[in-house]
């Protein structure tokens, strides 16, 4: 499985390390033509407005929509979750608009409110260590979206078919099981 990590901003190297630990070949993606030979794509954290602007500047919006339209899995973490969402609170337009969910940016507060916790994630046996940094929150989901994890009653991970999203940063721990879950999604689609 060859999985790309969108390399416009964010924890690209950390996602590559986690994907490789999960058994995939992982590459940094800087040009839209690099999407052609991938079986999956990760949109990392960073700053969602900046990522959206860079995706527009380098023609990634329609390219990633086409990629997902072919049934190829896309995994958005933190800001990547915001980029995937159909609706963003306080903003008129979304970025990719692929997942039927409404999200709130920085819902857990500022940098100093960052924290780590163990989460139960549907489809993964034991608790997964999750790092929340200025994390967004999934406020509501459509009927086709499967809630995979909650924290204090709030949705922090979800899946819609071949689309996966987490509020937290799984790439910032040595626990690569959520990346393995995504690699399995790509393998199923492959």
Provide the annotated active-site residues: 78, 169, 171
- Give DSSP secondary structure letters for the chain: -EEEEE-SSS-HHHHHHHHHHTT-EEEEE-SGGGGTT-SEEEE--S-HHHHHHHHHHTTHHHHHHHHHHTT--EEEETHHHHHHEEEETT-S--SS--EEEEEETTTT-SGGG-EEEEE--TTSSS-EEEEESS--EEEEE-TTPEEEEEETTEEEEEEETTEEEESS-GGGSS--HHHHHHHHHHHHH-
């Amino acid at each position: 499985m060859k999985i790309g990590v969108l390399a416009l901003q964010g924890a690209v190297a950390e996602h590559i390390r986690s994907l490789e630990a999960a058994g995939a070949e992982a590459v940094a993606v800087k040009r839209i033509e690099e999407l052609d030979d991938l079986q999956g794509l990760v949109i990392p954290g960073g700053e969602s407005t900046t990522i959206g602007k860079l995706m527009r500047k380098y023609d990634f919006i329609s390219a990633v929509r086409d990629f997902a339209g072919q049934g190829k899995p896309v995994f958005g973490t933190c800001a990547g979750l915001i980029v995937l969402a159909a609706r963003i609170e306080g903003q008129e337009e979304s970025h990719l608009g692929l997942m039927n969910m409404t999200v709130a940016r920085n819902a857990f507060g500022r940098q100093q409110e960052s924290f780590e916790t163990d989460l139960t994630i549907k489809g993964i046996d034991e608790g997964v260590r999750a790092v929340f940094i200025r994390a967004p929150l999934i406020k509501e989901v459509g009927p086709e979206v499967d809630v995979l994890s909650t924290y204090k009653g709030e949705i922090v991970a979800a899946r819609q078919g071949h689309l996966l999203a987490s509020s937290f940063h799984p790439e910032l721990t040595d626990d690569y099981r959520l990346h393995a879950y995504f690699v399995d999604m790509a393998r199923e689609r492959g």
